[in-house]
Structure 1
Amino acid sequence: MSDPFRERLFRLIADLVLCHSPSGAEQEIDAYLLAWLGERGIPANQDAAGNIIVRIPGRDGSRRLAITAHKDEIGGIVKGIRDNGRIEVRKLGGAFPWVWGEGVVDLLGDRATLPGILSFGSRHVSHESPQKVYEEERPPRWETVWVDCKCSRYELAEAGIRPGTRVVVGKHRKQPFRLGDDYIASYALDNKAVVAVLLLLAESLRHPGPELSLVFSSKEEVGGIGALYFTQRNPIDELIALDIAPKSSEYPIVSDRDPVLLSQDSYGMYDEALNARLKAAAREAGFAIQHAILCQFGTDASVAMKWGHVPRAACLGFPADNTHGYEIAHFGALEACFRILETYGRT
């Protein structure tokens, strides 16, 4: 990879992906973000909901713009611990065991992080064993799989593993992988890839047009909780969410490198006037835009607009394969998101 911008973006994403941040247990990425911003002299604060906020005064004090990128990732949550030490897990956000597959997961205990194996059971079995159904009829579900740390209930308790403990894909499995010069593949690109973009915007947009808030939002994957808290307490005229955009045959998202503007998702409509202004900024910056409406999808922006916290909202997304799994994205789309919002933020 010879392009300096892409090289820096890859390094940032790699750092961010390896910071565990399941919804509501985001301390590891919080520490990274605050240190990164502090080292560059960019003032930031963290509110009571866990959002990290960079406020940048604008030339036009009558316009208030916020751009969000959520810093949490999907994961699991411990429901119970059996007498044999096997751990029962349920989803936190849109995580599915058949997507993660058997392999190492990390349990973020109160006193220690323990590795465990997400387990589906043996395959050398007949129909007398419950695992046989996975081979012939249906995928495994959280209710029928378990995590095995090979620890006793006492050892798990000593580490602070309990109902409510968060579970994420093991770090060694999350290391991003490059496919040629153009693509990056990893778990948790949703939404660490555009958290990296937002960091670069914090560095670049030192003299924006509007009053600007860059919000690294918390607990988005479980209902946009951080963004709702922020928008309820801060008057915002326009809210733009940076997020992923799922590629699928049902959506007209055909280019890997062109960002996507949404008109609608599961939570409601986006603002078409704001979309038009973002499209104009894209033309000015020299990038094309794709349009889509999405099902089974929501963002900080659509949730906040649905609840009447903001009058105008938009979502600018980067196309990705295998969303909420081992995601694949094009560096060109991420750079385009950066350049478009840099252009828009300066006007």
Structure 2
Amino acid sequence: MNQEAYNQLFTRIETLVLHHSPSGVEGEIDQYLLSRLQDLGIEAWQDHSGNIIAKIPGKQAGAIAVTAHKDEIGGIVKAVGSEGRLEVRQLGGAFPWVYGEGVVDLLGDKQTISGILSFGSRHVSHESPQKAQQENQPVQWKDVWIETKCTAEELAAAGIRPGTRMVVGKHRKRPIRLKDHIASYTLDNKASVAILLALAEQVKTPTVDTYLVASAKEEVGAIGALYFTLNQPLDALIALEICPLSSEYPIQDGEAPVLLSQDGYGIYDEGLNGELRQ
């Protein structure tokens, strides 16, 4: 990939990252994707499960789909307490020690409010509850809160309530460039959605009908993809996803895509994997 292509990809991923999309509250990214697909002149719509679907007609009978989930992990408000403090629990595979203390955004029904994910004072003694978190165990969601400095009335007016989604704040969410690498929150799976948009730009006359699906609520059970596949007959489906580069996995770093044989949901189709390897 040349430098210009890297620059374009970085800009596209940055734009996607800065559109919040916690599982189940994905309207911000939905509006962007529908607008972008409309600009490309591609037939696109949103189904009852929240998926954004683009269809590129093929020359022959048959249909395939390429998916990439558009939702991101985060938190969900459990309770609105006194003095503007909110209890939160995880949404998807989110952990407070990954985020650290810092700015988060609360996506209220009427207004987005920023707060601080807080762990408590670090100036503690052996009698303080935070002492165990310093030395013996990771911080858990039950031990943290969001500090907003809003009154209960102000939070209610913004539509902040139990069920409100929390995500890393845009204040610190913007990606940074490390040569040809990107450091960012929510690359899972905004990086793959960027590839999906690139396909929408480049694929003009596929052999068979091709559906590009930005799927909803993947982080909480792949709900959108399940709904789509139950309602749309397909000959094959390819899911775009980031993969781990860790010593325990036999994956080599590089531009070549990785084909998985199994994950936590189940096994993949060996026949389709074989076709993709050719």
User: Which category describes the TM-score, using the shorter chain as reference length?
Assistant: over 0.9
1:78/1:89 contact within 8 Å kept? yes
Provide the residue aligned with 1:154 in structure 2. Answer: 153
Q: What pairs up with 1:166-245 in 2 under 5 angstroms?
A: 166-180=165-179, 182-245=180-243
TM-score, normalising length from structure 1? 0.78
Partners in 2 of 1:149 and 1:85 — Cα distance?
Answer: 5
Provide the residue aligned with 1:107 in structure 2. Answer: 106
Provide the residue aligned with 2:140 in structure 1. Answer: 141
Residue 263 of structure 1 aligns to a residue in which SS? Answer: coil
Equivalences, count: 278
Partners in 1 of 2:255 and 2:55 — Cα distance?
Answer: 30
Partners in 2 of 1:132 and 1:37 — Cα distance?
Answer: 51
How far off its partner does 1:85 sit?
Answer: 2.4
How far off its partner does 1:251 sit?
Answer: 0.7
1:42/1:203 contact within 8 Å kept? no
Provide the residue aligned with 1:129 in structure 2. Answer: 128
How far off its partner does 1:256 sit?
Answer: 4.2
Residue 140 of structure 1 aligns to a residue in which SS? Answer: coil
Greater shift in the superposed pair: 167-176 or 245-254: 245-254
Residue 240 of structure 2 aligns to a residue in which SS? Answer: strand
Runs of at least 4 residues off by over 6 Å: none
Q: Does 1:20 align with 2:50?
A: no
2:76/2:90 contact within 8 Å kept? yes
Partners in 2 of 1:2 and 1:152 — Cα distance?
Answer: 52
2:101/2:116 contact within 8 Å kept? yes
Q: Deviations over 1:292-325 (max 9, x none)?
A: xxxxxxxxxxxxxxxxxxxxxxxxxxxxxxxxxx
- The CA RMSD over aligned residues, in Å, is 1.2
In the alignment, structure 1 segments of 5+ residues that lack a partner are 281-347
Provide the residue aligned with 2:119 in structure 1. Answer: 120
2:68/2:239 contact within 8 Å kept? yes
Residue 240 of structure 1 aligns to a residue in which SS? Answer: strand
In the alignment, structure 2 segments of 5+ residues that lack a partner are none
How far off its partner does 1:195 sit?
Answer: 0.4
Q: Which has the higher contact order (CA 8 A, sep 6+)?
A: 2
Flag the 1:246–1:83 CA change in 2: closer, same or farther, 3 A: same
TM-score, normalising length from structure 2? 0.97
Counterpart AA for 1:120: F
Flag the 1:2–1:57 CA change in 2: closer, same or farther, 3 A: closer
1:21/1:29 contact within 8 Å kept? yes
Partners in 2 of 1:256 and 1:98 — Cα distance?
Answer: 29
